[in-house]
Structure 1
Amino acid sequence: MKSIPKLIRRFFSVLLISLFLILFLNFALLYLVTARSRANAGGWDMADKVSAALIKNENGQYILGTNEGQDMGQILKTGNTWAILIDKNNLEVTWHSEDLPSEIPLKYDINMISFLSRAYLKDYPTTTSNHSDGLIVLGFPKDRYWKHIYNTFDYQIIANAPKLLWLFLTVNLFLILFIYLTVTTKLLKTLGPIVDGIQTLPDGQEVYIKEIGLFSEIAQAINRTSEKLRTQERKLRKQEQARANWIAGVSHDIRTPLSMIMGYAGQLEDSPALNQEQHEKAAVIQQQSIRMKNLINDLNLASKLEYNMQPLHTELSDIIPIIRQTVVDFMNLDVENKFPIDWEIDESLTMCMALADKELLKRAVSNLIINAQVHNPQGCILHISVIYQDEICSILVEDDGIGISEEQLLALKNTPHYMLCDSNTNGQRHGLGLMIVRQIAQAHGGTLEFDHGKNGGFLAVIRIPAFLS
């Protein structure tokens, strides 16, 4: 559910940004529209300019001159605008511009002047300006301006316009937020179970979401996925149980005939009735039988570790004496001194405490030593050490034998799981002992790493978390 609040915050941010963008674009559009409209109160300023430019010459005739360097006659003609001067004494037109429409009267009364000063004259929108001899009237094209005849407004509305604007904006904002929160709450109720279901799927728990609402198809897909995962999990568990039972059964069934083979082989090896060659063959049978027994034990242990059937008896232990004892045991067995072991440990490291199963840890180190012996039948020197660094206990087993190529090392690091490799049995000749070491390391919350040794041989490192008091 952590993603839902994040999603809501993101939507809310998008909403606020959208509101600001809408306001900005509206004000920009309003500016563009009003900027293109004709300024100066709809031609009133133009009427003042015409009034100032209309003068009498020496002969008493009116001449429309210039104003601020502008030829007012040309401006009237360009704008298809006409102008008249109504005499203040007799209310007759004493001057007019060129192209005066024929329907424009040349005689006026008080009522007509009152109307045209605030409205229209023959449907022409008009503006007026005072002149020393009367009244200047400008008439514009009929589609130029829209004049409000009864343009009287309540004073309080105009005075409180900024407050009213903020009131409208606030009401609209709260309305938008209310709609947003309502929709978001409903969306949250719908998406919440879906998100919870998706997050629960990897845990293997049963998931069921009500298949209603806008996202019913997603809920159906999640329910089908959950059912399919549970079915696959049941099948896999059944297969794993069958495999574990098969391995345990085969191991049990082989023990009895194998014990008989080992017993008879031992008797033949010690029998005085056989010659030297027959004694050697009996010894080979005895050795291979022991090897087969060890392989069966390894396979059984690997199966139990894989399916968590091997109980861990962990206790707080010092790793150093456990590894040292394992090293001593192998040194005592190496009568021919074919595989001497160099025990390397820093004198300052007095202990390395960890929660460990002593027997399994001994088994892991023993497997690494045996692995070095098997792959170096001509003999080699083993270097074994324990290092504490960064709250990790590291057990290093290295030899100076034939080593391993880069291709072999890469293959070893990426070898498919021994127990699950069903298609390539050729790749299962090696690695069971190393796989058990990896399983033991993982059971202790650690890892197993492989690399080239500094002495030219093979290096294996078991890393397990150290106990912090």
Structure 2
Amino acid sequence: MSSALKLIRRFILILLLSICLLFVFNAVLLFYLSYHQTGNAGGWKAAQAVSDALTADGNGTYQLSREGASVLEEYQAWAILIDDNGGNVVWHSDNLPGAVPLAYSASDIAQAVRGYICDYPTTTGSHGGDLLIMGHPKTAYWKLMWNTFDYNTIAKLPQHVLVFIICNLAAIFLIYMIASSGIFRSVKPILCGIEALPQGEDIYLKEKGLLSDLAASINRVSEKLSAQNRQLRKKETARANWIAGVSHDIRTPLSMVMGYAGQLEEDTALSQEARCKAAVIRRQSEKIRNLVSDLNLASKLEYNMQPLKLSKVSMTSLVRQVSADFLNMDLEEKYPIIWETTENLPACFVLGDKELLRRAITNIIQNSINHNDEGCGIYVSLAENSGQCEIILEDDGIGASDARIEELNDKPHYMVCDDSITRQRHGLGLLLVKQIIAAHQGSVEIGRGSHGGFSVILRLKVS
């Protein structure tokens, strides 16, 4: 709805701006036309010019100079000179129409001065005490015969103009609102439909009105998105089921391989070389078992199929337990675990799934062991900062390059990226760590530690 209101405000702003520009344009145009008419002064100057060009000789006759004749020719007009004493025409131009009278009463002169003579619009000029009347073509001017305004009307002209403008603006706005109400009724469901598309909702808009074509297009897009979502869910379910099936089917034969390899490893009748090979088979089979388990868990976490058994977990205690387990398994003492946290550290409780969090810490330590065959020291520390529990796991092994660290931090795993499934970017161990911590609304930071090797920092909200 906010988009609809923005659209309406935009339309109203454009309307008001258009009205203002139109008003300014009309005002400029009116000023130009009025100035042109005022500056021209019409036939009044022409009549005076003809009067000035008319001269009398001693015998009572009049002569019109060449300049006066050219004025009459320019205006296609005729002229008469009325005597002040008797109202008779004492001179007229050669092109005087025959219908024009040659004698005038005071009433006739009053009519002629402000209006017409035989439908010819007239203008006047003074010639001494006499009156010169210039008659123009019938279509030259439109003269107002009774152009009289009372003083009140002239005094209140600014108020009248303001009222006129306000009434016009109100009428235009009313017309606009009535005309645009139908458009708004059509636009509103369109905008609601567009806003609902990213939510994955099924949308159907009535395909009628001004925007019926757009509504039909949105309906087709909604149908296409729904079909794609159904196909995607079907594909994801099939992949999850396939992974679960493979994990289940491989468990029994793998257990048999591990069992027989263990028996051969402990059989003293075999040579030392054969027993070592059996030990290698057992260890590699254990890796396969762990990978299958990781694959199944990663698939469940990716598709939110792994329910979290939430409880209050002491991360200090959990990290100590995992570290002790690894120390007990490290018979050759190739991977010593150094506890760098002070003994008075609080319990650092978080709300989470204890077994999943144990799995995440186990995977990180196992990752250091897997990538350092010659052995390395593993350093463990905990801290509580700004309401977050930080678990820092480092080693002093071979570490990783900057490019590799950037890839582990930023690039998606091959399980969740279909554009490059032929090239595995990194293993399942760190993917599981990221998924488990993400399920607990935490964060994972992979980098180079202070001891020169690999470093992983887990951050979880303290409860």
2:439 pairs with one of 443, 448, 460:
443
TM-fit CA distance, 1:312: 0.7
Uncovered stretches (5+) of structure 1, i.e. residues with no partner: 66-71
Amino acid at match of 1:107: L
TM-fit CA distance, 1:2: 1.7
Aligned-residue identity in percent = 48
Q: Distance in 1 between matches of 2:402 and 2:178?
A: 63
* Contact 1:298–1:432 under 8 Å retained in 2: yes
Question: Counterpart of 1:428 in 2: which secondary structure?
Answer: coil
Aligned length: 460
TM-fit CA distance, 1:15: 1.2
Amino acid at match of 1:335: L
1:176 pairs with one of 172, 179, 191:
172
1:68 corresponds in structure 2 to: none
**1:292 maps to 2:285:** no
Amino acid at match of 2:18: S
Q: Distance in 2 between matches of 1:353 and 1:175?
A: 69
RMSD: 3.7
The structure-2 alpha-carbon separation of the partners of 1:354 and 1:73, relative to structure 1 and needing over 3 Å to count, comes to farther
**1:363 maps to 2:363:** no
- Stretch moving more, 450-459 or 7-16: 450-459
The structure-2 alpha-carbon separation of the partners of 1:387 and 1:73, relative to structure 1 and needing over 3 Å to count, comes to farther
Q: Distance in 2 between matches of 1:171 and 1:466?
A: 67
Question: Counterpart of 1:462 in 2: which secondary structure?
Answer: strand
* Contact 1:83–1:139 under 8 Å retained in 2: yes
Q: Distance in 1 between matches of 2:403 and 2:204?
A: 48
1:377 corresponds in structure 2 to: 373
TM-fit CA distance, 1:301: 0.7
Question: Counterpart of 1:264 in 2: which secondary structure?
Answer: helix
1:242 corresponds in structure 2 to: 238
Question: Counterpart of 1:176 in 2: which secondary structure?
Answer: helix
- Stretch moving more, 304-313 or 229-238: 229-238
Amino acid at match of 1:396: I
1:136-159 CA-partner distances (Å, limit 9, x unpaired): 434456665321345567888767
1:83-137 CA-partner distances (Å, limit 9, x unpaired): 65422112234567xx664448693211542332122346553223566523343
1:137 pairs with one of 133, 139, 151:
133
- Stretch moving more, 115-124 or 299-308: 115-124
Uncovered stretches (5+) of structure 2, i.e. residues with no partner: none
1:3 corresponds in structure 2 to: 3
2:25 corresponds in structure 1 to: 25
Q: How does 1:17-416 map to 2 (within 5 A)?
A: 17-39=17-39, 42=42, 44=44, 80=75, 85-94=81-90, 101-103=95-97, 107-110=102-105, 112-121=108-117, 124-128=120-124, 133-139=129-135, 144-149=140-145, 151=147, 162=158, 164-345=160-341, 350=346, 352-416=348-412
2:16 corresponds in structure 1 to: 16
Q: Distance in 2 between matches of 1:447 and 1:402?
A: 24
Question: Counterpart of 1:398 in 2: which secondary structure?
Answer: strand
The structure-2 alpha-carbon separation of the partners of 1:53 and 1:343, relative to structure 1 and needing over 3 Å to count, comes to farther
- Stretch moving more, 298-307 or 234-243: 234-243
1:244-281 CA-partner distances (Å, limit 9, x unpaired): 22222222222222222222222222222212112111
Amino acid at match of 2:329: L
- Stretch moving more, 286-295 or 230-239: 230-239
Q: Distance in 2 between matches of 1:342 and 1:74?
A: 123
Question: TM-score when scaled to structure 1?
Answer: 0.83
* Contact 1:103–1:122 under 8 Å retained in 2: no
- Stretch moving more, 401-410 or 247-256: 401-410
Q: Distance in 2 between matches of 1:150 and 1:335?
A: 124
Q: Distance in 2 between matches of 1:424 and 1:127?
A: 95
Q: Distance in 1 between matches of 2:134 and 2:264?
A: 139
Q: Distance in 1 between matches of 2:155 and 2:194?
A: 58
* Contact 1:125–1:145 under 8 Å retained in 2: yes
Q: Distance in 1 between matches of 2:41 and 2:250?
A: 111
Amino acid at match of 2:23: L
* Contact 1:47–1:138 under 8 Å retained in 2: yes
Question: Counterpart of 1:427 in 2: which secondary structure?
Answer: coil
* Contact 2:413–2:426 under 8 Å retained in 1: no
Amino acid at match of 1:285: I
The structure-2 alpha-carbon separation of the partners of 1:421 and 1:16, relative to structure 1 and needing over 3 Å to count, comes to closer
1:453 corresponds in structure 2 to: 449
Amino acid at match of 1:4: A
1:263-312 CA-partner distances (Å, limit 9, x unpaired): 22222222222121121112112211211111111111111111111111
* Contact 2:339–2:380 under 8 Å retained in 1: yes
* Contact 2:50–2:71 under 8 Å retained in 1: no
Q: Distance in 1 between matches of 2:19 and 2:349?
A: 62
The structure-2 alpha-carbon separation of the partners of 1:73 and 1:436, relative to structure 1 and needing over 3 Å to count, comes to same
Q: Distance in 2 between matches of 1:20 and 1:383?
A: 74
Q: Distance in 2 between matches of 1:413 and 1:308?
A: 22
* Contact 2:413–2:425 under 8 Å retained in 1: no
The structure-2 alpha-carbon separation of the partners of 1:444 and 1:149, relative to structure 1 and needing over 3 Å to count, comes to same
Q: Distance in 2 between matches of 1:41 and 1:349?
A: 102
Question: Counterpart of 1:37 in 2: which secondary structure?
Answer: helix
